Structure formats: C-alpha cells, structure tokens
C-alpha cells in the first residue's frame, strides 16, 4: 500500500485522569474532505488541535507524508486553520488579514498582492479588502478567515465548527462555498462539526466520534445504510429501536421474535448473536410503509397522530407492546387512501432494511 | 430600578446640589491656587489686590524649579517604561499561566497599592541605604516602578482577559512564531490597556511625594519634593505658580489621553 497523505496513529490525549481521546487511528488520502462528527465533548477538537500542534498528544503520532509532525512547532507546520470563534485580527484590514501569513513568510509585495486578490475572489469578497473586520457580518468574517487560512496554499486545512455561530440559512450558503472551494483548490480538509446534516452535505468521509473513540468511519451512506453500532444508527438519521429476541442467524440474515410474538426473518445482523440473546431491532422511520410489499414484515399498531407533509406522512404509532414509534412513509401518488385514518392497523418494513443490535448498550 | 434618575422628583434638585457641592469642594482649592499664582500679593491675600506674572518670572528665573520638573519627568518616564514592560510580562503570566501560587504572586504584585505608602517608603529607604542605592536615580526609579506596577498590571491584565487567545493561535498557525504573534497581533489588540497602564504609571510616579522625599537627595529632587521643601521654608506665591503648572501639565495629559483613547478604540 502506498503511504497515506496524512496519518493519525493511535492518538491518545489525557487531561489529568480524564481521557479526552482514547485511541484514534485514521489514514487520510490527499484531497479528501473528512469530517469529525460527534456530540459535544467527544474529542473532535482535541484531535484536530493535536494535528495543528496546540495540544501535545499523550501518546500516538501524526504523520504527514510519512514524517512525524509532533516535533514541528505549530507555526512551522504550514497548516491552515479556521476556528469556531471569530479570529480575524481586528486592527488589520481584510486584505492585511489575508496577507498576514504571507508577510510572516516574507514573501515579496507583488506576490502578496496577487495572492490576496486571488483569495478574496475565491471567497467572493472582492472589494472588501479595505474594510476592517468589525464592519463585516459573521459569515463574511468566517469567509475572510477561510481566505487567510488558504493564502499560503497549505496542504491541509483544519476547520473547527466554523459555521456554528451562524444562522441556518447562512450556514447552508457557506457550506456550498466550502464545497466549491474544496473542489477548486483540491486541499485536504479536516472539518469538525456536531451537525450531521452539515457533515453529510460536505464530506467525502465522516469519522463519527464518541467518548474519545471513533465509533465508525466511512461515507455518509456507510454510516446511514450500514451503521456499525447502535450509537451510529441513532446519531445519523432517525431510528426506532424495538426490543427483540434473537433466534438464529444464517449468512448475516437473522431471525428474531418481536415483543408481540411475531417472528421476522432476514434482518441484518450487525454482529454474532447467541440463541435467545436479547437484541434491539433498528428500523428507520422512512423504512416503514403503510401497505405490504413483496417481502415485508408487518407490525400491528394503533395510530396516535398523523400529519401530511407532501412528500411523506409523519405518523406516531403505538405497538401492541406499548412502545411509541416514529413512522414516516413516503406519500404514494398512485393511491390516495389514508390508512392512518383508522384507529389501528399495521405498518410494514422490509427486514433487509432493519438492523439488529445487541441490547443494553451503554448510551 | 429603585433609583431612577428620571423619577426622583424634587430629590433630583437635591442630588444636583449635593453633586455640585462635592465637585466645588474638590476643585475650588485648585482654582484658588491658580488665581493666587497670578495675584500680586506677596502674602497670598485673597482677593488679590492686583494681577501679575512676576511669580512665574521668578519661577523660571530659578533653575532649581526647572531642574526639579525635568527630574520628575525623567524618573516618571523611566518608571513608566519599566512598569509597563514588567506589567506586561507579569500580566501574561497571571492571566495565561497555570502555576501554583499564582494568586499569591498577583497579590504580592498589587500590595504597593494597599500598603501604607509611608511604610513602604521607610522600608525601601532603609534597604536602599544598605545596598548603596540611596539617593541615586536608579533607586528612585526602582522605588517608583514598584509603586507604579499595580497601576500597569490592572489595566493590562483586564485587556488580556478580554482578548480571545484563539486569535493569537490563529496567528501562530498562519506561521508567526509565538513571540511574533504576540508582538503583531496580541499587543495591538490590547493597546488600550497598555496605553492606560502607561498613563496611570506615569501619574503614579509624577505626583508621588512620600517615597520621593525619602529617595531624594539635595541634588536629586522631583517637583513634588521641591514644592514640599519650599513650602516648609516660606509660603511664596512662586509655589502657587509651580503648582499651577503641575495642574496644567496633569490636565493636558488627561485631555491627550482621552483623545488618544478615543482614537485607539475606533
Ligand atoms: N484543556 C483541557 N483541560 C481539561 N479537559 C479538556 C481540555 N480540553 C478539552 N477537555 C475535555 O476533553 C473532552 C473533549 O473535548 P473536545 O475535544 O473539545 O470535544 P469536542 O470538540 O468533541 O466537543 C471534553 O470532555 C473536554 O471537557
Ligand atoms: Mg469542539
């Protein structure tokens, strides 16, 4: 195998007796957009700061093209970074901010001016060069920060929740800009967020963090369609968990008994289970249908609440075991009959779209 | 709010009168001094029988006064530079540092502000005599630096607390060494704090008299010491003239400060 571009090896960081990052290993190919996703406090920033050089890892290594970065001080790592908080230099104009990394590198004036103009046009802020950061909106400030971080053509760009202070509309707008800039520059990006939509929108791959460990790393589809554990399944997208008893598994297709006694075969087993083991079956709300299909399993429910949202219905139903479930079937244009108008009925799902996880996981 | 100015009614008049009285009480003596410095009476009679500039002529005719003023300025400037530089380094340690005894160090550095000046003056006088710094410019400057230090540390620390360290970190990832980042990014961002520190430190030394009396020698006298000494010899209107100039200088310093602060904060 060829040398990965950036490699994080067995990274561990403790603060006193508290372990913030347990054992993180990731290989990142050149040009990838990798997102660290996870709840607050799961060790995303700490991992990022170890790459930037603001945190010395307790153990482990960070390698860029095979060479360890750990002995290189932050200012010599030649890494670009955009922070969560606004970090523009308030006493310098926008152009001077973008020029700053080039000035400290003692680049000639002509090159600095050319690069500043190029960067400001990259982030679509031509004509703002003479303004001071105080006169810019939050979104504009973060775009200047992006221009500043890219001005010296760093091989890696780190971004720590750069959009979390912005409102939703602006956030989506700048996400699109970031995608475009990634495409145009080909820079390798490591992006931290706790917002799954942002992660899915931006990333080539997502590393989902939990308690200082990577729960799963893969494309958005991997995480949504093939979750490795219950945590991933519940963090990415929406999910229902139904208690179930495992009966047997052949070729990864498990047969289970649900709480109402019904037997379902062909669900995806995410690991080996023993006979009679307590498990939980995960079914996504959008995997439910209101009508049976060729190979669907049915679940008897009472309909508690239903609302029509055009593309789909949102239904709250209660199983015969008394568990409330979230059902979001897509609207059927060919059949306008509303089954949820009745008091009770059945909801259906394809067992191949349901996942079996061990029960009693600590969450 | 309990004490809303707009709803005080007749109390508002009383409050205004009281405030006026306090202001008058504080300012009138200064006004009298200034008036007396232009009065023709040798015995500081009030109201003055006539007006004259002769006390100012006498003041400028005597080189000792000018020399005292220059000495004051020289010592205050050196003490200011030292207090600001040391205060800056101390503030970084106190605000950013995480070490045992940090609060104790902070307390120690601020003691000159709460310690009775006379106690400090006697202590440092005895100490300096022993180590041969008594009556020297160096001793004078060191003593005033210690006194001025709290006035430098307080505004600089406050400014540094309000400065987001991420901004300095951003400068460092941009390629600036930690020192360069502080110089080019952090210091300009806390310049108002540094400027206030310089002004307060300068004033703390400029009009300080107690320690100065102990530090002074016949050849090394600051303006407040000279005024104090002259007062004890005779009550001449020349002192009023010297005091008026001192007031004028302090006043102009404060006006310039206000103007510069306004400019810095935009
Ligand atoms: N300097 C520090 N000292 C002590 N604990 C810290 C420090 N930095 C981070 N932590 C802790 O480490 C954990 C991970 O933090 P962080 O990496 O910032 O999480 P995230 O970015 O995923 O929200 C948190 O529980 C946080 O409280
Ligand atoms: Mg974080």
Give which of B167, B173, B188 to mutate to test A binding, by max A Cβ within 10 Å: B173
The SS3 call for residue A82 is strand
A239-358 adopts what CATH topology?
OB fold (Dihydrolipoamide Acetyltransferase, E2P) (2.40.50)
Kindly report, residue by residue over A149-172, the tens digit of the pLDDT. 999 999 999 999 999 988 888 899
Q: Which atom of ligand 1 is nearest to the CA of A192?
A: 21
Burial of B253 (0-12, 13-18, 19+ CB in 10 A): middle
pLDDT of residue A362: 47
The SS3 call for residue A253 is strand
pLDDT of residue A363: 46
In this prediction, residue A98 has a pLDDT band, given cuts at 50, 70 and 90, of: very high
Chain B residue nearest residue A152, CA to CA: B174
Q: Domain spanning B63-265 has what CATH number?
A: 1.10.3720.10
A134 alpha carbon – ligand 2 mean position (Å): 25
Within 13 Å, how many C-alpha atoms sit on residue B122's CB side? 4
Where along chain A do the CATH 2.40.50.140 domains lie? 239-358
Distances (CA, A) of A157 to A219, B185, B251: 19, 22, 53
Where along chain A do the CATH 3.40.50.300 domains lie? 6-233
Could you report the predicted ipTM of this complex, rounded to two decimals? 0.84
Domain boundaries, chain B: 5-37, 63-265
Kindly report, residue by residue over A76-92, the tens digit of the pLDDT. 999 999 999 999 999 99
Given 3.40.50.300, 1.10.8.60, 3.30.420.40, 1.10.287.610, which CATH number is that of A6-233?
Answer: 3.40.50.300
Which positions ≥6 away from A58 have C-beta within 8 Å? A12, A13, A14
Residue A132 has pLDDT above 60, yes or no: yes
Average pLDDT, chain A: 91
pLDDT of residue B178: 95
pLDDT of residue B2: 60
Q: How many CB pairs under 8 A join A and B?
A: 64
Q: Does residue A244 contact residue A284 with C-beta atoms inside 8 Å?
A: no
Q: Which residue has the higher pLDDT, A352 or A209?
A: A209
Residue A361 has pLDDT above 70, yes or no: no
Q: Which atom of ligand 1 is nearest to the CA of A36?
A: 22
- Test site for ligand 1: of A43, A159, A162, A206, most ligand atoms within 8 A of the Cβ: A43
Question: What is the rounded distance in angstroms from the CA atom of residue B241 to the CA atom of residue A214?
Answer: 78
In this prediction, residue B253 has a pLDDT band, given cuts at 50, 70 and 90, of: confident
By a Cβ cutoff of 8 Å, what residues of chain B touch chain A? Answer: 164, 166-167, 169-178, 180-181, 184-185, 188-189, 191
Kindly report, residue by residue over A4-49, the tens digit of the pLDDT. 899 999 999 999 999 999 999 999 999 999 999 999 999 999 999 9
Separation in Å, CA of A78 to nearest CA in chain B? 7
Q: Which atom of ligand 1 is nearest to the CA of A43?
A: 17
């Amino acid at each position: 195998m060829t040398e990965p571009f950036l490699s994080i090896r067995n990274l561990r960081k403790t603060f006193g007796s508290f372990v913030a990052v347990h054992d993180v290993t990731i290989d990142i190919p050149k040009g990838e957009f990798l997102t660290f996703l996870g709840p607050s406090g799961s060790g995303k920033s700490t991992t990022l700061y170890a790459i930037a050089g603001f945190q010395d890892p307790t153990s482990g290594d960070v390698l860029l093209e095979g060479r360890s970065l750990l002995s290189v001080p932050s200012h010599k790592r030649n890494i670009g970074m955009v922070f969560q908080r606004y970090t523009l230099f308030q006493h310098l104009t926008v152009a001077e901010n973008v020029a700053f990394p080039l000035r400290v590198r003692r680049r000639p004036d002509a090159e600095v001016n050319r690069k500043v103009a190029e960067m400001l046009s990259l982030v679509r802020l031509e004509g703002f060069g003479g303004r001071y950061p105080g006169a810019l909106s939050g979104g504009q400030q973060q775009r200047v920060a992006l221009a500043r971080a890219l001005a010296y053509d760093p091989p890696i760009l780190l971004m720590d929740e750069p959009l979390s202070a912005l409102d939703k509309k602006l956030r989506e707008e700048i996400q699109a800009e970031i995608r475009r800039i990634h495409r145009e520059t080909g820079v390798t990006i490591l992006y931290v967020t706790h917002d799954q939509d942002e992660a899915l929108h931006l990333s080539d791959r997502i590393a989902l963090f939990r308690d200082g460990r990577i729960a799963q790393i893969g494309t958005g589809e991997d995480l949504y369609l093939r979750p490795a554990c219950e945590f991933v399944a519940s963090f990415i997208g929406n999910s229902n968990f139904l208690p179930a008893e495992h009966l047997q598994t052949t070729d990864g297709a498990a047969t289970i008994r649900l709480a109402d006694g019904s037997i379902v075969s062909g669900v995806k087993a995410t690991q080996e289970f023993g006979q009679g083991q307590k498990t939980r079956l995960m079914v996504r709300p959008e995997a439910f249908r209101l009508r049976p299909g060729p190979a669907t399993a049915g679940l008897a429910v009472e309909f508690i609440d239903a609302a029509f949202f055009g593309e789909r219905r949102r239904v709250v139903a209660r199983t015969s075991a008394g568990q409330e479930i979230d059902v979001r079937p897509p609207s059927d244009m060919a059949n306008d009959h509303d089954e949820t108008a009745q008091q009770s009925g059945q909801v259906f799902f394809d067992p191949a779209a349901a996942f079996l996880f061990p029960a009693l996981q600590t969450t | 709010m309990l004490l809303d100015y707009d709803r005080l009614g007749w109390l508002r008049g009383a409050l205004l009168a009281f405030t006026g009285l306090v202001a008058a009480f504080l300012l009138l003596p200064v006004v009298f001094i200034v008036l007396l410095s232009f009065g023709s009476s040798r015995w500081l009679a009030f109201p003055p029988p006539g007006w004259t500039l002769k006390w100012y002529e006498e003041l400028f005719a005597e080189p000792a006064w000018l020399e005292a003023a220059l000495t004051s300025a020289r010592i205050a400037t050196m003490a200011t530079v030292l207090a600001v530089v040391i205060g800056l380094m101390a503030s970084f340690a106190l605000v950013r540092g995480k070490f045992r005894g940090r609060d104790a160090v902070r307390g120690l550095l601020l003691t000159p502000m709460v310690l009775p000046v006379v106690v400090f003056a006697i202590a440092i006088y005895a100490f300096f005599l022993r180590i041969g710094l008594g009556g020297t410019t160096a001793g004078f400057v060191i003593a005033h630096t210690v006194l001025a230090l709290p006035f430098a540390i307080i505004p600089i620390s406050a400014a540094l607390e309000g400065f987001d360290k991420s901004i300095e970190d951003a400068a460092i990832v941009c390629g600036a060494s930690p020192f360069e980042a502080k110089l080019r990014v952090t210091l300009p961002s806390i310049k108002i704090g540094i400027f206030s520190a310089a002004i307060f430190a300068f004033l703390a030394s400029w009009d300080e008299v107690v320690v100065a009396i102990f530090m002074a020698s016949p050849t090394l006298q600051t303006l407040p010491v000279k005024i104090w000494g002259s007062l004890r010899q005779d009550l001449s209107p020349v002192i009023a003239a010297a005091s008026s100039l001192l007031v004028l200088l302090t006043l102009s310093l404060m006006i310039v400060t206000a103007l510069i602060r306004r400019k810095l904060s935009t």
